[in-house]
Amino acid sequence: MQLIKQTSLKNIAIFASGAGTNAQKIIDHFRNSALAKVSLIVSNKAEAGIFKIAEKEQIPAVLIDKEQFFRGDTYVKLLQDHHIDLVVLAGFLWKVPANLVQAFEGRIINIHPALLPKYGGKGMYGHFVHEAVLAAGDTESGITIHFVNEKYDDGGVILQERCAVLPGDTADVLAKKIQALEHHWFPLIVERLLS
């Protein structure tokens, strides 16, 4: 007689504000996984490309109401109702409120397109980060995957990976290098944290 091992998939919620390229890489990574699946997409922008991905992938998606997000427990309850094990911020541009951080302590991660603590904080995202790196004359940049706490870009570092900043690099060139690092490392770190 063969014993069938009972396993339950872990549930990932992805919060994103933009096109959702990192979200797509994570969805693809876990598509046939016995470990986890992306069970919920959350965004603060009605026009965000992440909603097209959610529709195509048939993943439930929610548009955040700003007032409810920053006051009350609506979204804590939403995540609990979906049995979310890990919240992944993939280009989500709002600061996560304290009640959500506390309810999912140690289970919310973010990816930042620079080597924190440099170039972090409010308003530091996307091209703003790359332009700051170039303006400072840095010879390297990279990504930081970190836990989320109640301050911007401040939680414990999980992984940093680097890339060279070459003479003549523009913000667009640097963005492509950073995105390649993000797409490679983010799904792997999500898997590592859930294993």
Task: Work out the angle at residue 49's Cα, subtended by the Cα atoms of residues 81 and 68, and round it to the nearest 5 degrees.
Answer: 40
Distance CA 112, CA 189 (A): 14
Q: Is 56 annotated for ligand binding?
A: no
164 vs 89, 127, 161, 182, CA distance in Å? Answer: 25, 17, 11, 15
Given the residues 82, 112, 127, 184, select the one marked as catalytic.
Answer: 112
Instruction: Determine the residue type at 176.
Output: K
Does 21 carry a binding-site annotation?
yes
Query: Mean pLDDT, to the nearest integer, of 136-149?
Result: 98
What CATH number should be reported for the domain whose range is 10-194? 3.40.50.170
For the stretch 146-169, pLDDT in tens is 999 999 999 999 999 999 999 999
pLDDT in tens, 33-55: 999 999 999 999 999 999 999 99
Give pTM, 2 decimals: 0.94
- Determine whether the annotation assigns residue 20 to a binding site: yes
pLDDT for residue 8: 85
pLDDT at 97 over 50: yes
With a cut of 50, say whether residue 4 has pLDDT above it: no
In the three-class reduction of DSSP (H, G, I as helix; E, B as strand; rest coil), residue 87 is classed as: strand
For the chain, domain boundaries: 10-194
What is the H or E stretch that residue 78 is in? helix 74-81
* pLDDT confidence of residue 72: 87
pLDDT given at position 6: 47
- 112 part of the active site: yes
For the segment 106-112, the average pLDDT, to the nearest whole number, is 97
